[in-house]
Amino acid sequence: MKHLYSILILLHFGLDTFSQNKEGYIEYDKVIQNVNEYSNDLKGIELLKIKIEDSLKMMVQQFSNSVNIHDDGTQDWTTEEIEKRQNQIIELEQQIEKIRAEGIKAIADRKKKVKDKLVSKLKEYSKKNNITCVIDKTSLLYCLNCIDYTDSFVSFLKN
């Protein structure tokens, strides 16, 4: 049994010393801020968020006005009028939810597009520089002798 363990240990250290794998990390936010193409995409996402929020504010105000009907006691509401008003409120609520869901999807799609472009460039960069593993610094728990490739990757993207 001791022989088996010693063989496994030798194999492990033997393979480790001859491998030339490099591993490291990048700071995703720093990359995005330093490359105009990606920062412009993020600005577009922020503008889309503002546009969606503005249209939702208008609809929410309309919804709020529909719900807050003041009854001074002089008006008699028929059952049909109450049902009609409830249906209008439900329809408006559904429209608000639909716009919100579409907005969230549009923003997620734009972010995914930016990230996909960045990932494909990162793969190209890694292959060119013989790097086996590059991850975002925020998801890095522990890495012994990891290299920060952020600046090098930013210069690669700018070329």
Q: What digits encode the pLDDT tens for the residues 8-55?
A: 443 444 444 444 557 788 888 888 777 777 777 778 788 888 888 888
- Tell if the pTM clears 0.85, that is, is over it: no
Query: What mean pLDDT do residues 141-148 have?
Result: 77
39: tokens are 């920062």
Say if CB 108 and CB 50 are below 8 A apart.
no
Q: Which residues pair with 24 in a beta bridge?
A: 134, 147
Eight-class DSSP state of 78: P
Give the whole-angstrom CA distance, residue 138 versus residue 86: 48
Residue 122 CB neighbour total at 10 angstroms: 22
159: tokens are 């070329």
Cα distances (angstroms) measured from residue 101 to each of 56, 62, 104: 11, 19, 5
Give the whole-angstrom CA distance, residue 99 versus residue 55: 8
Burial 139-156 (b: 16+ CB within 10 A, else e): eeeeeeebeebbeebbeb
How many residues are recorded in the chain? Answer: 159
Report how many helices (DSSP H) and strands (DSSP E) the chain contains, helices first. 5, 3
For 103-138, write each residue's pLDDT tens digit. Answer: 888 888 888 888 888 888 888 988 888 888 787 777
129: tokens are 């520089």
* Domains, the chain, ordered by start: 20-158 (3.30.910.20)
